[in-house]
Structure 1
């Protein structure tokens, strides 16, 4: 797999800095490092391709590193959060409350209380949430700002992780939204818009195009009986990045071209309504790497094992999620031997006492020695924060934004 990073004298460069210098800066391995210039380049490409006026929000759960959130706050139009902790990250980055959307099917009473007090837009996912938010508004003497997260009445056709359509814990079934809108109109809340999140990690452009069109059509139907158009519709994200052999990058140009076709019709039906894309992995996933160090090398029954100081406790997704998915290798490099040919077939494993702690199975790598740096690409999203860092009580990895 090709990668967006530069190489000098056989050593990977991140943000123009030699990988070995980054290891010294981190103070220890393992660590994550993210290249802000690659994040910025992805944002510029999106702005150039999408129709004018499309807003870009960052889904903080993809990578909640505070430095990353602060970096993106100055470059994007808002944030989508899924907990009170993420909400505070967005607020601490200087984002206006009305530019923060709080989604999630299991918001606690305390989280809703803090969200109402902060003035963020609460994405309602049930009638119960609406009533709790209304009561909290009375308590604080404010009109909470809410949107309705819609469980769409369609399903994505190919690829990705389904987040809506059919029975789901997320959102309000499209068929039940009209009744909820009637109840909402009787409550002392301010209605802001709709959120339709159909899926994630999709690499198939025609599927995304179809989902966008159907989401827009659904929202236009739901908004027919509103006195004024919604302030915004959030179409979710769904844009994936390739992780495994045989996967091709998303044809985003095709997605952008299709948006130019259907967006005018939505604006005619809903004048003044802002359209939001909520992206996470697509913004930061390819801009980050995970780095660990080979601490031992051994041969067992004729097979070579490279044992590192990292593993599934730091990068659960790369290890195969505790064996719950078909095991496939994330792209793995020996970061300080990129000018050397692959000479051996090795298993790269972590330091934990479980056979599930695998970083790469049967990877074709250069001849690797103790002290070399193993690099896992495509690690900018759902890495450190999505991993069981307390497992076996090893120290957590460092993080750097360069």
Structure 2
């Protein structure tokens, strides 16, 4: 897919009226006026709702859908999503507070992540949420706390699988990992758990994220179910909960293609039929980026335009301090451009190649490198697509002490 075609695919989600990009029927110029400043993130509630509806339609009905708050913890956004999904996944005390303000019952909230503090474990224990145990030491700390508090914790064991998945942008399992307990140690841990005063629910097996290959995703989930079957044999009772992660990716770069969600859903349905022992088990698919990633935009304003040795630079008031991922500094090995546009010049025919940079004193502060766009200057708005996930809260907002970006859900 050519770059221009790829940009058009992303732009179709947001309508253009009178040469201006719109979000939920509101021009971004009007959004900027209402907020009173740039930069800002804007998220389209209708696109989020539509994506969840598409998932519900495509996925097997026995799968429960959970939202991973880490992808985007904006409270209003989480509150909206919580009314549409079956549960939430958190990874910190701050996210726990956000989940507590949403319309999700505690038993449908799970707490993942290595290095949970004693305060986080105590709060999770008190709230009654499900705690995904990441290590034997974490288990022992929780057992001591639960004994002192006179409360029975609900737990799953997070497993570091003994397989790796091809094509994942970020591998969360297989090999030596800080996440979860190695597969070969699970039999011993199950013995410890079953001997303790806990509500043991089952397993959390998370293999990776940002995968754009249907075949690889289905192979990974088949391996996940195989592993769950194998590990369940060490349990004295049938497991009641199995979190199989998610891993569904969204297209960012030239050559990326949207996932065929129908093929994912039908493939998962066929796989689940092979495991009748899990018919009474709550099987959870946990998604974050796939739900919100394509529903968000990052908008910043051009402050200056300059020429340097034959190249045009558009200097904005936004950059890596607000959107680390778009700058290429959030795990990219080779930097690639997110799709961008000039939001108030969508249909201008006068084009040029330009480098879009932020205001920071570092050469890493690049939003787009030598990309063809309508000719723009001070006052025009640069818009970065695919910005609904891992944007503001995944960025060093205090770097160089520039003002923080706003957020709005429309």
Give the TM-score category using the shorter length. Answer: over 0.9
Give per-residue Cα distances to partners, 1:246-278, cap 9 Å, x unaligned: 111122221111111111222x11331011011
Q: What is aligned with 2:182?
A: 173
2:365 and 2:167 map into 1 onto residues whose CA distance is: 30
Question: SS at 1:160's partner residue?
Answer: strand
Are 2:159 and 1:150 aligned? yes
- Which of 333, 336, 340 does residue 341 from structure 2 map onto? 333
- Which of 369, 373, 386 does residue 377 from structure 2 map onto? 369
CA contact (8 A) 2:168 2:208 kept: no
Q: What is aligned with 1:243?
A: 252
1:33 and 1:236 map into 2 onto residues whose CA distance is: 27
CA contact (8 A) 1:341 1:365 kept: no
Structure 1: 5+ residue runs without aligned partners? none
1:293 and 1:28 map into 2 onto residues whose CA distance is: 9
Are 2:91 and 1:82 aligned? yes
Q: What is aligned with 1:230?
A: 239
Are 2:138 and 1:129 aligned? yes
| More deviation, 282-291/134-143 | 134-143
Q: Which runs of 4+ in 1 moved over 6 A?
A: none
CA contact (8 A) 1:342 1:364 kept: no
Q: What is aligned with 1:285?
A: 293
Q: What is aligned with 1:189?
A: 198
2:350 and 2:327 map into 1 onto residues whose CA distance is: 22
Superposition pairs for residues 17-28 of structure 1, below 5 Å?
17-28=26-37
Q: What is aligned with 2:3?
A: none
Residue 26 of structure 1: CA displacement? 1.3
Superposition pairs for residues 107-118 of structure 1, below 5 Å?
107-118=116-127
2:289 and 2:168 map into 1 onto residues whose CA distance is: 15
With over 3 angstroms needed to count, the CA separation of the structure-2 counterparts of 1:99 and 1:180, relative to structure 1, is same
CA contact (8 A) 2:190 2:234 kept: no
Q: What is aligned with 1:320?
A: 328
Question: SS at 2:239's partner residue?
Answer: coil
With over 3 angstroms needed to count, the CA separation of the structure-2 counterparts of 1:205 and 1:322, relative to structure 1, is closer
Q: What is aligned with 1:38?
A: 47
CA contact (8 A) 2:289 2:389 kept: yes
Q: How many residues in Structure 1 have an aligned counterpart in Structure 2?
A: 401
Give per-residue Cα distances to partners, 1:357-388, cap 9 Å, x unaligned: 11100010111121100000000000000000
- Which of 69, 80, 91 does residue 71 from structure 1 map onto? 80
Give me the TM-score of the superposition, normalised by structure 1: 0.98
Residue 313 of structure 1: CA displacement? 0.3
CA contact (8 A) 1:51 1:256 kept: yes
Residue 317 of structure 1: CA displacement? 0.6
Question: SS at 2:325's partner residue?
Answer: helix
Question: SS at 1:207's partner residue?
Answer: helix
| More deviation, 79-88/374-383 | 79-88
Structure 2: 5+ residue runs without aligned partners? 1-6
Question: SS at 2:211's partner residue?
Answer: coil
Residue 325 of structure 1: CA displacement? 2.9
Give me the TM-score of the superposition, normalised by structure 2: 0.96
2:395 and 2:330 map into 1 onto residues whose CA distance is: 10
- Cα root mean square deviation, aligned: 1.2
Are 2:391 and 1:394 aligned? no
Question: SS at 1:395's partner residue?
Answer: coil
Question: SS at 1:353's partner residue?
Answer: coil
Residue 232 of structure 1: CA displacement? 1.2
Question: SS at 1:265's partner residue?
Answer: coil
Q: What is aligned with 1:269?
A: 277
Q: What is aligned with 1:354?
A: 362
2:82 and 2:350 map into 1 onto residues whose CA distance is: 41
Give per-residue Cα distances to partners, 1:231-252, cap 9 Å, x unaligned: 1100111111111111111222
